[in-house]
Amino acid sequence: MMATGSIQTLDPINAKGSGAGYNQYGEPLMYFPDGLYPPEAALVEDYSMSEDGLTYTFNLKQDLTFHDGSEFTAQDAVYTYRRMAESPNSRNKDDIIGQTMTIDHEKDASIAAPEDEETLDDIVPQSLAVRAPDDYTFEFDLASPFEYTLFQIAGGNWAMLPENAVGDIEGYDGEYSYNEFFSTANGGPEYAGLGAFQVDSWTKGSEITLSSFENYWNGEPELDEIRFTVVTSGNTRLNRFKGENAHILEGMPTASFNPDNVSIEETKGSREVGTYTFDDGMEVNYGQIPALTTEYLVFNTLEVPIPVRKAFAYALNQHDVAENVYKGTATPAYHITPPDPYPTFEEGVTSRETYTRHAEEGYQSNTDWAENGYPYGYGETMLGEATQVMEDAGYGPNDMYSVTATTISGNDAYTQVLTTLQSKLRAAHIDMEITEANFGTIISQAINGSMEVFALGDGMEYPGPQNFLRYLHGKNPSGQFTRWGAEGSYYDEELRQFARDTWDEQYAGDDATPETRNEAFQTIEEVNWESVQELPLVNPISQRFWHQGVDVDMYGVMENQTFDDVTIQ
């Protein structure tokens, strides 16, 4: 197979932009079989939740072993969860002690956060409410109920590690240093997971090789080996696949895809499977599924003023992007939340009046709401408005605003979108330079706040709007990619306070209901319209191509799939 970017790390808690294969060598307590939801038990015999929705109890399977031969016990789960919450190496603290799913813990009042913000670094060591009553029972307590808890912990960043493998949290000296355990030296033999395949060798910029693990909990895999080769160019990946130098191709460059070459033969729920015939006559297997993903432009509001962000929105025509760039493999996006998990409103039920606009009718779907309210042109480019908003801000032909937009190397769709915008924005007094970087670099720079504008696609860890919208209501802005509301950023304080109050009262308040949460979700979407922190582009269709001799199922909507039952003729 082929990886689209460098494999930055094997560490689950530092896995943002890590690259390929994590579903093969890592295993969390729960999993999505072939990417289908709801999640099912992987490493556990059974599980239960208390009546108040706060305590989860997992009875672990016995006699399971890590790749290094050590036995998996509840102490390993305690250690794994604590690392995610407490380790300075964790990029996923928000998933375990953040705004949505929060395992109960104590906070150190002496650790200061920026003014009007909170920090996730103030957790008191060893206070996380996770415990092992015995070797095969694992429990944790939530601070408040969260309906997608089992979805969340089925994600790849929750993969189990042996207790005390790395000494980067209090109470553990570590058998290896951080760099040793996740090292590429000598193939990284120190790494031990519970996945169907074990790591044989790994080089960040070139490849990772995995071999079958005979003691996998679900039976020894059929395949002997999986090799992911790093190939950043989409065209090169396509040519290698057509040359039969790769068995599976995950997605195709949009410029090369011809929808007329698709023949759908079977529908399995939302999955469609059939064949794809290349222009030279080669026929391969084909599968597609609407992804729980939104592709969008991210603005660093510390760098990019509000008028410039609005000019981008006026210049963009999402319908045109979906039709002419993605060639029907995506639908136009006007919300950050994808269509399937978007909240619906019963007929006659109205949304709360928002800061940016009010709804006097009960729109019933994502598309209806955007069609009747999106302020920057639904299915059209409003170049006159883009020009006017920039001229009102003092820009003109002799005083252009300069900005740099970064796209993922090898992603021709993002490049096409930005190139099309480039000429339109120039007419609106914006001079945009386009640069490329690999995915891991983009994530690192986004965390550091060193980019102005960048293109990104984000898939949901669970099918709920809060998965994305938790980042857009202005809480803890110094830790968000957009920095909206951080000191020195370009933002409207009244709008931010409205968003904060809405989220705290209607989503997180003691009296919150499913109805008020849905209203909060719609409000935050409209706040994003007004603030243009993230500018939605499309909701894509995920595609897979595989050769005739490969027996693999098309994955489900969660897209997490282990190749333990894949065979090759």
**Residue spans of alpha helices (H) in 249-379:** 306-315, 318-320, 366-373
Confidence at 368, pLDDT banded by 50, 70, 90: low
* pLDDT value of position 352: 38
pLDDT at 324 over 50: yes
Does the pLDDT of residue 131 top 70, yes or no? Answer: yes
* Residue bearing the bigger pLDDT, 17 or 167: 167
Q: Is there a contact between 381 and 365 (Cβ–Cβ < 8 Å)?
A: no
The full set of domains in the chain, from first to last, is 12-188 (3.90.76.10), 294-538 (3.10.105.10)
Torsion of CA 344, 347, 351, 357, to 10 degrees: 100
Tokens read off for 330:
């995506």
182/203 Cα distance (integer angstroms): 11
The phi, psi pair for 225, rounded to 5°, reads: -155, 145
* Token output for 469: 């919208």
CA 193/CA 205 separation, integer angstroms: 22
pLDDT tier, 6 (very low <50, low <70, confident <90, very high otherwise): confident
pLDDT in tens, 165-201: 999 999 999 998 888 888 765 444 578 999 999 999 8
Q: Name the average pLDDT for the chain.
A: 91
Cα separation, 482 vs 75, whole angstroms = 37
| Cα–Cα distance, 167 to 161 (Å, whole number) | 12
Sign of CA dihedral 507, 471, 530, 324: negative
550-551 vs 567-568, strand pairing mode: antiparallel
DSSP string, 308-338: HHHHHHHH--HHHIIIIISTTSEEE-SSSS-
- Closest to 524 measured CA to CA, from 341, 355, 307: 355
| DSSP helix/strand/coil, 542 | strand
**How many residues can be counted in the chain?**
569
- Contact between 149 and 142 under an 8 Å Cβ cutoff? The reply is yes
Question: CA distances (Å), 365 to each of 183, 369, 522, in order?
Answer: 48, 6, 11
Reported as a pLDDT band with limits 50, 70 and 90, residue 75 is very high
Residue 250 tokens read as: 């995950």
Q: Write out pLDDT tens, residues 230-272.
A: 998 899 999 999 999 999 999 999 889 999 999 999 999 899 9
**pLDDT digit string (tens) for 496-550?**
999 999 999 999 998 999 888 988 998 899 999 999 999 999 999 999 999 999 9
Coil, strand, or helix at residue 546? strand
Distances (CA, A) of 260 to 275, 279, 548: 11, 10, 20
Report the amino acid identity of residue 312. F
Predicted confidence (pLDDT) at residue 558 exceeds the cutoff of 60:
yes
Alpha carbons 537 and 313: distance in angstroms, whole number: 10
Among residues 534, 509, 536, the alpha carbon closest in space to that of 520 is found at 509
Q: Are 195 and 49 in contact, with CB atoms under 8 Å apart?
A: no
Task: Indicate whether 330 pLDDT > 90.
Answer: yes
Confidence of residue 19 (pLDDT cuts 50, 70, 90): low
Q: Which H/E stretch holds residue 429?
A: none
Q: Is the pLDDT of residue 357 over 50?
A: no
CB neighbour burial string for 458-468, b if at least 16 within 10 angstroms, e if fewer:
bbbbbbbbbbb
Q: Is the pLDDT of residue 76 over 70?
A: yes
**What number is the average pLDDT over the span 289-294?**
94
Cα(506)–Cα(101) distance, rounded to whole angstroms?
17
The model's pTM: 0.92
Give the tens place of pLDDT for each residue, 463-507: 999 999 999 999 989 889 999 999 999 999 999 999 999 999 999
* Beta bridge partner(s), residue 197: 212
pLDDT at residue 182, as a whole number: 80
Bond preceding residue 540 cis, omega within 30 of 0: no
Of the pLDDT bands very low, low, confident and very high (cuts 50, 70, 90), residue 15 is confident
Higher-pLDDT residue of 355, 383: 383
Q: How many CB atoms lie within 10 A of CB 6?
A: 21
Q: Contact at 8 Å (CB) between 343 and 307?
A: no
Number of CB atoms found within 10 A of residue 210's CB: 25
* Structure tokens, 184: 């590429």
Q: What is the pLDDT of residue 229?
A: 95
Of all helices (H) and strands (E), which one includes residue 530? helix 514-531
**Spatial separation of the C-alpha atoms in residues 137 and 292, rounded to whole Å:** 33
**DSSP assignment, residue 353?**
P
Question: Residue 388: phi, psi to the nearest 5?
Answer: -65, -40
pLDDT at 535: 98
| Choice between 190 and 375, residue whose per-residue pLDDT is larger | 375
Q: How confident is the model at residue 350 (pLDDT cuts 50, 70, 90)?
A: very low
Q: Are 240 and 246 in contact (CB under 8 A)?
A: yes
Is residue 289 very low, low, confident or very high in pLDDT (cuts 50, 70, 90)? very high
**CA 360 – CA 342 distance, rounded (Å):** 19
